[in-house]
Amino acid sequence: MNRRRKIYEGKAKILYEGPEPGTLVQHFKDDATAFNKQKHAQIEGKGVLNNRISEFIFQNLNAIGVPTHFIRRLNMREQLIREVEIIPLEVVVRNVAAGSLSKRLGMEEGVQLPRSIIEFYYKNDELGDPMVSEEHITAFGWASPQEIDDMMSLALRVNDFLVGLFLGVGIRLVDFKIELGRLYEGDMMRIVLADEISPDSCRLWDMKSGEKLDKDRFRRDMGGLVEAYQEVARRLGIMTGGE
């Protein structure tokens, strides 16, 4: 894979030039980072699990008509994706109070929110991805008002799907982060889901025990991250024992 031209290297993934124009190869690394890279570790097997879990979720979203960049998985660590222009925003959907919302508003973790809440964060490592409002987004030209509407409706469709998917396997979807991109096809442009959806980008709690099955195990030094991700994969019916 290193023969391919590297386009971009992020904290947990690398993007390579794809086999055809308009495509890229998304490679999942084993690196785990938190608190804007202040904490960093290699966790063997994480990339393979996230590749499989994200493939499963994106395939299912494609099947119900949610547009995504995902084409197909290539191997244990890589998937073929469509090249999109990433919108420089992280879109967080929350169903239950946790993490930075609990901290910011002094709300106990685990409290069900009155409705799903969408938040936007400006993607900028140097600034630590600050939360921004729709006013900032339109004033600084990161996205148009129409694109904000499209991002919000996509985020809510993804949330509806994921809440149901995880509920069916005894997991509470607390919150998650998505990234969106502009896909250009001829004169047409549409907003599609990009990046990944995995236990790195979601909070997933076992419904009965409350056990955390997500990246908070790393952020909070709880250990057992790979075992937790394997449990998520197992419950979703994804085999990860080899090709």
Site string for ligand C5P, 156-175 (x = CB under 6 A): -------------------x
Among positions 92, 158, 173, 183, the unique one binding ligand C5P when judged by CB under 6 A? 92
Min separation Cβ 166 and ligand C5P, Å: 12
Among positions 23, 33, 62, 100, the unique one binding ligand C5P when judged by CB under 6 A? 100
Min separation Cβ 2 and ligand C5P, Å: 27
DSSP letter string over 157-201? HHHHHHHHHHHTTTEEEEEEEEEEEEEEETTEEEEEEES--STTT
67 binds ligand C5P (CB under 6 A): no
92 vs 97: CA distance, rounded Å: 12
**Residues 222 and 216 sit within 8 Å (Cβ to Cβ):** yes
Q: Of the ranges 13-21, 53-61, 70-78, 196-204, which one interacts with ligand C5P (CB under 6 A)?
A: 196-204
Min separation Cβ 215 and ligand C5P, Å: 6
Q: Of the ranges 46-54, 60-68, 96-104, 142-150, which one interacts with ligand C5P (CB under 6 A)?
A: 96-104
Among positions 97, 192, 202, 213, the unique one binding ligand C5P when judged by CB under 6 A? 202
For 55, 82, 209, the CA distances from 14, given in Å and listed in that order, are: 16, 14, 35
Q: Which is nearer to ligand C5P, 129 or 211 (CB)?
A: 129
Q: Which ranges in 1-130 belong to alpha helices (H)?
A: 46-63, 99-105
129 binds ligand C5P (CB under 6 A): yes
**Start-to-end C-alpha separation, the chain:** 17
Q: Is the C-alpha dihedral spanning 47, 53, 54, 55 positive or negative?
A: positive
165 vs 170: CA distance, rounded Å: 9
- As given in the structure block, the two tokens for residue 238 are 């994804």
Alpha carbon 126 to its chain centroid, in Å, reads 20
229 binds ligand C5P (CB under 6 A): no
176 binds ligand C5P (CB under 6 A): yes
Among positions 27, 203, 212, 217, the unique one binding ligand C5P when judged by CB under 6 A? 203
125 vs 32: CA distance, rounded Å: 15
201 binds ligand C5P (CB under 6 A): yes
Among positions 99, 116, 235, 238, the unique one binding ligand C5P when judged by CB under 6 A? 99
Among positions 84, 215, 218, 233, the unique one binding ligand C5P when judged by CB under 6 A? 215
Indicate the helix (H) or strand (E) that contains 231.
helix 225-235
Number of chain positions touching ligand C5P (CB under 6 A): 14
